[in-house]
Amino acid sequence: MRLKTPVASEEPELSVVPLVDVMLLLLIFFMVTTTFVDEARLKVQLPQANLKAVPEQQRDRIEITVTANGEYRVNGRTLLNTSPTTLSAALSKAAGKARDVPVTIRADARSTHQAFVTAMEVCGRLGLRNINIATINEGARR
């Protein structure tokens, strides 16, 4: 019995069909997942309001300044120390009996996060709920 002898070395063939199939499947996968991510976002249409500025003389407000060193100032007056008790006493004196007074916290960018959180915590413990955080508009700085 005579078997066929193998043909001398054949060139290996590189089939690109499976590669194209995988690439198409990946393309479809990424297209589908990006539409899911887009649909998962909550789209909110905000209401419009005509805001009229209240003159500064007519409204009372409290301003807490946190310096880069972590010191506190209430309405421009430096406090004796940085303890929450001292800050609480100064805020109680500035607010009086009113708890709806707007409080603006101006923290230096180099101050510690803990000093800022302490100021917010003291305001919360005193019942001051109208807290604003002062920032600067990067576009206006240029």
Count of beta carbons in the 10 Å neighbourhood of residue 66: 21
pLDDT at 61: 87
Q: Which residues of the chain have pLDDT under 50?
A: 37-38, 42, 57-58
Digit-coded pLDDT (tens) for 75-106:
988 899 989 999 999 999 998 888 889 999 99
pLDDT at 57: 44
pLDDT at 41: 52
pLDDT at 125: 93
SS3 letters for the chain? CCCCCCCCCCCCCCCCHHHHHHHHHHHHHHHHHHHHHHHHCCCCCCCCCCCCCCCHHHCCCEEEEECCCCCEEECCEECCCCCHHHHHHHHHHHHCCCCCCCEEEEECCCCCHHHHHHHHHHHHHHCCCCEEECCCCHHHHC
Domains of the chain with CATH codes: 56-141 (3.30.420.270)
pTM value is: 0.56
